[in-house]
Amino acid sequence: MNALTNWNILDSQPGILAVDKNYLKVAYLPGSYNYTQQLLLDGYHKGMMFDQVSVDFKLRKKGSSFVGLSYPFRGLPQIIMVLVGIRPFAIFGPIAALFLGMALIDSMIEISLWVSMDTEKPIMNVNFVLGTRLTGMQALFFGLLAELIVRSNR
């Protein structure tokens, strides 16, 4: 959470969480799993302030933590959903750049091979180039459209 929010967070899984009632009116929680991290990320992107207070807990004598190997697979999708709901272009922009970049690099390589007479057609992998280019364009326009919708709803 430190990297995602630039806040000095010691523990993003507190047993106690307090928020202002005004924030509760605008809070965005796409799921119920990992709610504290969703609230921290959402609050950061909505310009909220953060502070933490130390709380002393007694050491657990029996039982075990719920965090296991499935934790990243259950928590990460909801964190991504928070980012998509708040700043969609931050997610879809890099995806678009990746696919458009792959299409551009492959096109440049194939055209240079054609110019040097190593292939008989300018683009040999037409399906790959068209598929990656179309996927990149769709991700780009979806990210822009979603960003406009999110900004107009603020």
Residue-level pLDDT at 12: 65
Write out the two tokens for 7.
């806040």
List the chain pLDDT tens, one digit each, 154 residues.
677 777 777 766 656 777 788 888 888 777 666 777 888 888 888 888 777 777 777 777 777 766 667 767 777 787 788 888 888 998 899 999 999 999 999 999 999 999 999 999 999 999 999 999 999 999 999 999 998 988 887 6
The domain spans of the chain are 1-51+67-86, 87-154
Tokens of 54: 């130390």
At 105 the pLDDT is: 97
What is the model's pTM? 0.60
Composition of the chain by helix, strand, coil, percent to 5: 60, 0, 40
